[in-house]
């Protein structure tokens, strides 16, 4: 299979004649501090990826510093994108991480163009910018600095606790541009977390990240996603999760049921058949017609989480006005339990809304905290 230059943004080495295979473009690096991972270093042709004009996403461009994700979430909807690289959507997605080593240099050049109109740029919509590879390559400080210096508002969605390293830089950047922060978490059972998210920080560690973000004076919306039918949609599980998220100081919450696109679908259903065979028939019924659960299940889930959100005041957030934030106001929560005022169009599910705080808002003069003591970054 040959690669499609319109779908990959790697620079073609001049020494390779004709049209090379993707593997011919990858320089592999294995590092003892990151056992089980192989990094493929590439030179990017571009950093900013334009979102299709017809999309419901509330941002016009994205940045992906990496392809593949060491969080290894079995359900990840981005798995199929690895197949564009002649890598599989299973273990290769988890272990073969493509790194755009020159992304900061290219981004600065693109942001300096007279045609750049400083529209919202989103990070973390495909693979996590704060996965373990970031501990080695340290791309995000340069990305944040480039966006802030250019006056470009941006948002970050992550599971990676390595984001704590950059909180002083993010707080400083928020003086110059509106920013949004989002943290994703879905599983409250330790054994289930280890089985479904073996490379991701624990839910407790991600809660601590939410608290650290809000303590730094920044907004932080939480994506309680994906909710897994029969596994994490019980009242006790949802009550514990929403209560803990509220206690951590989140500015908003969106509850989103699992969706199974090609790539993720095969990987997840294989896991389900192996670990929870009794649930296979239910999933076949729910997902037999496509990637998304039926409207009836979404309505049932919204009804289950609505009183829990109300109990913790998470149904009253309005476009970031809670906790001293400024932003647009909006209507009440939608079918997935999104906080009021959230914009439509989540990556992977354009019918869902973003939680308040996860999209760029202007902050009232935040103060950057003192840098923390250096930590073992590869242990994120």
- In this structure, are 319 and 254 located in the same domain? yes
Answer yes or no: is 267 within a domain: no
Domain count, the chain: 2
- HSE-CB of 248 using CA atoms within 13 angstroms: 26
- pLDDT for 365 beyond 50: yes
Average pLDDT over residues 257-280: 95
- In this structure, are 322 and 252 located in the same domain? yes
- For the chain, the average pLDDT equals 83
Residue at a domain's end among 152, 186, 211: 152
Whole-number pLDDT of residue 336: 40
- In this structure, are 324 and 204 located in the same domain? yes
Average pLDDT over residues 70-86: 90
List, for residues 138-181, the tens digit of each pLDDT value.
999 999 999 999 999 999 999 999 999 999 999 999 999 999 99
- In this structure, are 43 and 132 located in the same domain? yes
Give residue 325's pLDDT band: very low, low, confident or very high (50, 70, 90): very low
Contact 46, 110 (CB under 8 A): yes
Residue at a domain's end among 134, 152, 170: 152
Question: Percent of the chain, pLDDT > 70?
Answer: 79
Q: Tell me the residue range of the domain where 128 lies.
A: 1-152
Question: What is the C-alpha separation between 276 and 274, in angstroms, rounded?
Answer: 6
Answer yes or no: is 205 within a domain: yes
What is the distance between the terminal CA atoms of the chain, rounded to a whole angstrom?
A: 35
Give residue 315's pLDDT band: very low, low, confident or very high (50, 70, 90): confident
Partner residues linked to 99 by β-bridges:
41, 66
- In this structure, are 145 and 218 located in the same domain? no
Task: Output the CA–CA distances (angstroms, integers) from residue 60 to 23, 118, 120, 223, in the order listed.
Answer: 30, 10, 6, 21
Answer yes or no: is 148 within a domain: yes
Structure-model confidence comparison of residues 252 and 30, the more confident one? 252
We report the CATH number of the domain holding residue 170 as 3.80.30
- pLDDT for 20 beyond 90: no
- In this structure, are 129 and 148 located in the same domain? yes
Answer yes or no: is 280 within a domain: no
- In this structure, are 141 and 246 located in the same domain? no
- In this structure, are 125 and 171 located in the same domain? no
- In this structure, are 214 and 99 located in the same domain? no
Partner residues linked to 63 by β-bridges:
123
- In this structure, are 136 and 97 located in the same domain? yes
Answer yes or no: is 282 within a domain: no
Residue at a domain's end among 99, 128, 152: 152
At 63, which helix (H) or strand (E)? strand 61-63
Going by the DSSP 8-state scheme, the letter that residue 106 receives in this structure is H
Question: What is the C-alpha separation between 193 and 218, in angstroms, rounded?
Answer: 27
Answer yes or no: is 284 within a domain: no
Written as six digits, the tokens of 163 are 């984001």
- pLDDT for 340 beyond 50: no
Answer yes or no: is 264 within a domain: no
Partner residues linked to 37 by β-bridges:
none
Answer yes or no: is 63 within a domain: yes
Say what angle helices 280-287 and 264-275 make with each other, to 10 degrees.
150
Average pLDDT over residues 15-28: 51
- pLDDT for 132 beyond 90: yes
Q: Which residues contact 112 (CB under 8 A, 6 or more apart)?
A: 150
- pLDDT for 338 beyond 60: no
- In this structure, are 143 and 70 located in the same domain? yes
Supply φ then ψ for residue 265, to 5 degrees: -60, -50
Starting from the edge strand earliest in sequence, which strands make up the sheet with 27-29, in order?
27-29, 38-42, 96-100, 66-67
Give residue 83's pLDDT band: very low, low, confident or very high (50, 70, 90): confident
Written as six digits, the tokens of 223 are 């994506």
Q: Which long-range contacts (CB under 8 A, 24 or more apart) does 368-375 make?
A: 368/168, 368/169, 368/171, 368/172, 368/175, 368/216, 369/167, 369/168, 369/171, 369/215, 369/216, 370/168, 371/168, 372/164, 372/165, 375/165
- In this structure, are 113 and 181 located in the same domain? no
């Amino acid at each position: 299979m040959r690669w499609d230059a319109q779908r990959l943004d790697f620079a073609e080495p001049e020494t390779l004649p004709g049209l090379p295979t993707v593997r011919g473009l990858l320089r592999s690096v294995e590092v003892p501090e990151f056992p089980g991972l192989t990094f493929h270093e590439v030179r990017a042709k571009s950093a900013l990826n334009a979102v299709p004009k017809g999309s419901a996403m509330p941002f016009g461009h994205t940045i992906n510093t990496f392809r593949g994700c060491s969080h290894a979430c079995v359900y990840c909807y981005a798995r199929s994108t690895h197949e564009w690289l002649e890598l599989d959507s299973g273990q290769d997605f988890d272990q073969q991480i493509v790194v755009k080593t020159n992304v900061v240099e290219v981004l600065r050049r693109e942001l300096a163009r007279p045609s750049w109109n400083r529209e919202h740029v989103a990070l973390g919509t495909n693979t996590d910018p704060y996965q373990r590879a970031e501990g080695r390559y340290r791309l995000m400080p340069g990305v944040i600095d480039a966006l802030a210096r250019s006056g470009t508002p941006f948002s970050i969605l992550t599971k990676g606790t390595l984001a704590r390293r950059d909180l002083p830089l993010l707080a400083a950047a928020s003086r110059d541009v509106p920013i949004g922060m989002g943290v994703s978490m879905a599983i409250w059972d330790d054994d289930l977390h280890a089985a479904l998210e073996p490379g991701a920080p624990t839910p407790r560690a991600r809660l601590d990240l939410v608290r650290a973000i809000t303590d730094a004076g920044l907004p932080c919306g939480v994506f309680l996603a994906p909710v897994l039918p029969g596994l994490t949609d019980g009242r006790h599980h949802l009550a514990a999760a929403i209560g803990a998220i509220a206690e951590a100081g989140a500015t908003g919450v969106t509850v989103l049921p699992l969706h199974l696109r090609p790539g993720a679908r095969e990987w997840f259903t294989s896991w389900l058949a192996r670990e929870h065979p009794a649930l296979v028939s239910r999933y076949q019924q729910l997902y037999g017609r496509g990637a998304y659960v039926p409207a009836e299940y979404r309505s049932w889930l919204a009804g289950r989480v609505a009183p829990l959100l109300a109990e913790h005041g998470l149904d009253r957030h309005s476009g970031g006005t809670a906790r001293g934030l400024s932003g647009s106001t909006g209507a009440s929560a939608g079918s997935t339990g999104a906080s009021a005022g959230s914009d439509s169009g989540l990556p992977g599910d354009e019918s869902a809304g973003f939680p308040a705080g996860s999209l760029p808002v202007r902050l009232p003069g935040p103060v950057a905290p003192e840098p923390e003591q250096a930590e073992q970054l590869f242990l994120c």
